[in-house]
Structure 1
Amino acid sequence: MTRPQAALRRERAAYEPDGEQPIGGYLAATAAYLGGVGTLAVLARRTGRALPAPGPWDVALTAGAVHRLSRLIAKDPVTSPLRLPFTRFRGASGPAELAEDVRGTGTRKAVGELITCPFCTGLWVATALTAGQVLAPAPTRLLCAGLSALTAADFLHFARVAAQQAVGDDG
């Protein structure tokens, strides 16, 4: 074992002696993310795309889209086949959302953690939508509008259920 390898192992053991955290998987995910961002930046530059100057409405529209798409990926029953290799089904966790446990070790566990966490997935979704706003602004804006409308509709569903429960109506 080389000196750098030994030093890395000591630091890893000092960080987390049990070794349950998939540090190598996290490094792979970080490398994939940074590689993707770098590729998108090169693509934008080579195609001569100008960077947009998003206003508050664009940020709100994108935030609604990121919220909905990240929850769709991480929690929706319909997307559970995408999570199946990395998770174990536990049951429902809320309206139209599943509870799943991450399974596996190493990169498999790291991917499972990424795709079952809407906060973690949100970074990737926000990056993809931001790249879309540079590379394909009109379709991306339409997608963001649709997903934001769905986000607003979700909140209206919750408000209606709360109002019905407050007055004792089941329908």
Structure 2
Amino acid sequence: MTTDAARYDERGDVSLGGYAALASVFAGSVGTFALLARRRGVRLPQEVPPWDVALMGAATYKASRLLTKDKITSFLRAPFTQRTDEGEAGEVMDEPRGSGFRRAVGDLVTCPFCTAAWATGALVCTYAAAPRLTRLVCGGLGALTVADWLQYAWTATQEKVEG
């Protein structure tokens, strides 16, 4: 018997059911937030200034890297992943393990691009409910992003000088 995963992917290791469960969790979380926000009288902003979009973008980038690549957050990924290599600048390379839902979560927490969607969802919800707090958190994560870029620039400058 051919499974849906096997028909979708020649290797048959794609966790379509796990992905569907994760998508349902995401959609359910956003829907629950919307209902609770409405009941509590949270008023959505009429507009999101470009500066806030840039700030949330930098924060999303850094949050997704912290969750998917940082050594310190390995304990969060460990039930769903296996360490395969050391990356650059203190980052690590993990691969998903297991099957079904466990594999789907492993795929999510090893992919900065995938995790960024979840981080954005969380930031947008908090921005709607508490914009000042969200700007503060995003400012901190944005500053960390700038610090990372400066670290890379410093290292590149040192390497160039030292030849």
* Length-normalised TM-score, structure 2: 0.93
Residue 16 of structure 1: aligned partner: 9
1:168 partner amino acid: E
Measure how far apart 1:18 and its partner are: 4.5
Aligned mates of 1:13, 1:155 — CA distance in 2? 42
Residue 20 of structure 2: aligned partner: 27
Structure 1 residue 143 corresponds to structure 2 residue 140: no
Structure 1 residue 114 corresponds to structure 2 residue 117: no
Measure how far apart 1:80 and its partner are: 0.1
Residue 63 of structure 2: aligned partner: 69
Q: Secondary structure at the match of 2:83?
A: strand
Aligned mates of 2:75, 2:3 — CA distance in 1? 38
Percent of aligned pairs with the same amino acid: 46
Aligned mates of 2:94, 2:3 — CA distance in 1? 33
Match for residue 78 of structure 1 among 52, 72, 77: 72
* Length-normalised TM-score, structure 1: 0.89
2:41 partner amino acid: G
Structure 2 unaligned runs (5+)?
none
Aligned mates of 2:48, 2:18 — CA distance in 1? 34
Structure 1 unaligned runs (5+)?
1-8
How many aligned positions are there? Answer: 162
Which structure 1 residue ranges, 4+ long, deviate > 2 Å from structure 2? Answer: 9-19
The structure whose Rg is larger is 1
Measured against aligned partners, the alpha-carbon deviations of 1:41-100 in whole angstroms (never above 9, x if no partner) come to: 111211111112111100110001000011000000000001011111122111110011
Residue 33 of structure 2: aligned partner: 40
